[in-house]
Amino acid sequence: MNSNNNARAKFVSAEEAVRHIPSHSRVVVGHAAGEPSVLLTAMVENYAQYEDVEIVHMVCIGKGLYTAPELRKHFRHNSVFVGKNTQEAIASGRGDFTPVYFYCFPALFSNGQMPVDVALIQVSPPDRFGFCSYGISNDYTQAAAQNARIVIAEINEQMPRTWGDNFIHLTEIDYAVKTNRPLLEVPPLLPSAIEEAIGEHCASLIEDGATLQLGIGGIPNALLKFLNKKKDLGIHSEMIADGVVDLIEDGVVTNKAKTIHPGKSIVTFLMGTKKLYDFAHNNPMIELYPVEYVNDPYIIRQNHKMVSINSCVQVDLMGQVASTTIGYKQISGVGGQVDFVRGAAMGKEGKSIIAMPSTNKGKTSKIVPILDEGAAVTTNRYDVQYIITEYGIADLRGKTLNDRGKALIEIAHPDFRDQLREVWERRYIYKETNKTEGA
């Protein structure tokens, strides 16, 4: 960080800015639509000046060019949430994955476990007092900048100015690069009939006045259309996408019933299209805070009627949820799934939902007797509560393993129920027989 409090950021070209990144350093890069793409591109174009630079990045929705095989001597990717464009690099060993709960990630920068040499960030233009907003992505970016030896910022004319604990002063930036380009976007996908059925089941568990966390993927989007008859919903979510704009404009999300931050939608990042980014610009109803606050289960629990909705890859008959791996292959990261599952469970009248189609594109059942070899458990069987598919809702809380199995088979795809029942009977038939005999 710039040690002279009176000094202003030095405005330079992208090429000049990235020249200050030393070889063998750790560079923590802002993620999702907050990715400072112009700076990453300049690094990749000038790759020859670097040797073994570690690039720590979370959700990569950009091109992820730093993972190209021919750049392996220059860049090494350390991912905390593998994106589509970085999966192959991680799977083939050109990068690695660090498992960490999202709300605990920023502490690694300050406690010496993951010291930051350079923070590469994207922010809004400064206001008249010299404060730039982190815009649509605060999450771990603020902590990275606060703990870095060197802060390099892309100051993008098109980055919205958003509210919350969400500002960095020009005196805290070492090198600044002015740009004027559209932010990266993730357009909402049209939900399938199956996703809509799942969305409808999820909506049936959401009461008026509930506060929602909406995860990543198609299902949260499918749910939104079934919320239009609800009253005074609130948002306390790691992220939100475009659909929430309609809910706010239609008066469904008012945040009036929230027990903390009433009247405000609280998030740590936004990921959608220009529609969402324009809506958030200077909008006092949306506030961004660092992820160590938003995703802290002890903060989440203070929201009464908190409902978390996330998705997964597989669930076994005990209720163990795998969300980030397909067998040995890392396809995403924990994000805030466990943070919110736990926070919702701890709160008054909270509910946590894991919602998924019953099959993977009709090919295999997502409810399985045992998780695939190599799969990592994301939400464990002690934390899990509701599992939802297009066939219904299984409430696993307080149920024995035997009853969990039964409940999960009832919401599995009919084509796979016999196979699942066969395994379940082998495990539990003795107890069933005993129960019948003892009855």
- Closest to ligand COA by CB, 320 vs 324, is 324
Q: How far is the CB of 189 from ligand COA (least distance, A)?
A: 8
Instruction: Name the nearest CA neighbour of 75 among 26, 147, 15.
Output: 26
- Closest to ligand COA by CB, 126 vs 336, is 336
Q: How far is the CB of 195 from ligand COA (least distance, A)?
A: 8
In the set 35, 154, 195, 238, the catalytic residue is 238
User: Pairing state of beta strands 234-240 and 265-270?
Assistant: parallel
Instruction: Retrieve residue 76's tokens.
Output: 């090494």
- Closest to ligand COA by CB, 71 vs 313, is 313
Q: How far is the CB of 157 from ligand COA (least distance, A)?
A: 28
3-state DSSP call for residue 310?
A: strand
Please state, in angstroms and rounded to a whole number, the distance separating the CA atoms of residues 296 and 91: 30
Q: Which residue has the tokens 């997964």?
A: 312
Q: How far is the CB of 324 from ligand COA (least distance, A)?
A: 5
Instruction: Retrieve residue 118's tokens.
Output: 């350079």
Q: How far is CA 186 from CA 144, 240, 340, 355, in A?
A: 24, 11, 23, 21
Q: How many residues does the chain have?
A: 439
- Closest to ligand COA by CB, 347 vs 357, is 357
Please state, in angstroms and rounded to a whole number, the distance separating the CA atoms of residues 156 and 236: 27
Instruction: Retrieve residue 282's tokens.
Output: 């200077």
Binding site for ligand COA (CB under 6 A): 215-218, 238-239, 310-314, 323-324, 326, 331-332, 334-337, 360-361, 364, 366
Instruction: Retrieve residue 57's tokens.
Output: 């990045």
Q: How far is the CB of 251 from ligand COA (least distance, A)?
A: 25
Q: Is 238 a catalytic residue?
A: yes
- Closest to ligand COA by CB, 2 vs 324, is 324
Strand arrangement of the beta sheet that strand 26-29 belongs to: 10-11, 175-179, 150-156, 118-123, 26-29, 53-57, 75-79, 95-97
Q: Which residue has the tokens 């999960």?
A: 408
- Closest to ligand COA by CB, 14 vs 239, is 239
219, 201 contact by CB (below 8 A): no
Q: How far is the CB of 173 from ligand COA (least distance, A)?
A: 28
Active site residues: 238
